[in-house]
Amino acid sequence: MPMTPEQVAEILRLREAKVAPKQIARQLDLRPAEVSAFIRDRAEDLYLEKARSGDLQPLQACLVNQSAVQKLFPKKQSLLTKLRPQIRQGVEGMGQVIVARQEHNRLLVGSYLIDYWCLGVKDAIPPRKMGTSEYEKFLGFCEERFDEPFVDITLEQAQAIVFGAVDYARSLGFEPHKDFNPKAQTHLGLRPETLLPIECGKDGQPFFMSGPYDDVDQVVKTLEASVGAGNFHYMTAIGGPGMGEIDLLL
């Protein structure tokens, strides 16, 4: 049964007074799970309203793995190569964009695992709060999994990588991962009317590299339907560290 307007108003009043969800549930004769879900949804709605009005937290960092810059922004890569000539090639076709915003004395961090050769957003972490040490540990873990450094990019470049990969994947018949929800999207900022140009696919065609959680048969059928047999390539197994998309993001 939906909550009554009176119950909603009382929950908001009690939360404003710092009353715990379990205590609120007890006072209003509601299930704790109901109250917790309402509070969570309310917080998300408020965040989205604030973000859509352009009132996002200040940007602290925008990062992506080095090989993604090399492939998607070759002009930036040429400068980076001069500065750090011994950089490894990393994981081709895959990128991880990390966007960190400052929220008081903590960081609000969102992460997006991108397959820019075919599937678009393969996984995402909607923004979550991290302390500085937790953030540095997370970044170090990502660099270890990709076996390459992460480099600074602009927010416009981050938007181009994520939204551009989504657009490309949708043109092939693939939707983003379910965790690429409105909160995760809004953390990137409002999508520009025109994205910076990037080239998705490999050598002008989709190239599907299967991960441990991909339905290979379904992906191949979708590609055959969207671009036709012979107009794409695929590899049914990937090896090496960092390729499991769940391991990469947890």
User: Phi/psi zone of residue 163: left (φ > 0), alpha (ψ -120 to 50 degrees), beta?
Assistant: alpha
Tokens of 114: 């991108």
Token pair for 56: 């996002």
Burial of 132 (0-12, 13-18, 19+ CB in 10 A): exposed
Q: What is the pLDDT of residue 1?
A: 66
The residue with greater pLDDT, 87 or 181, is: 181
Token pair in block for residue 123: 């996984």
> What CA–CA distance (Å, rounded) separates 18 from 27?
14
**What pLDDT does 92 receive?**
86
Q: Is this prediction's pTM over 0.85?
A: no
Can you give the pLDDT at residue 78? 46
**One domain, residues 140 and 43:** no
pLDDT in tens, 107-132: 999 999 999 999 999 999 999 999 99
Sign of the dihedral defined by the CA atoms of residues 199, 243, 222, 174, in that order: negative
Beta strand 150-152 pairing with 59-65: antiparallel
Q: Which domain holds residue 241?
A: 59-249
pLDDT at 237: 62
Written as one letter, the residue type at 124 is A
Question: Do residues 76 and 25 share a domain?
Answer: no
- Tens of pLDDT, residue by residue over 38-82, are 887 887 777 777 766 667 889 999 999 999 999 999 875 444 444
- State how many domains the chain has: 2
Q: What is the pLDDT of residues 165-201, one digit of tens each?
A: 999 999 999 999 999 998 899 999 989 999 999 999 9
Instruction: Check whether residue 16 and residue 94 sit in a common domain.
Output: no
Question: Using an 8 Å Cβ cutoff, are 123 and 139 in contact?
Answer: no
CA distance 188 to 175: 18
Task: Say whether both 143 and 209 belong to one domain.
Answer: yes
99 and 191 belong to one structural domain:
yes
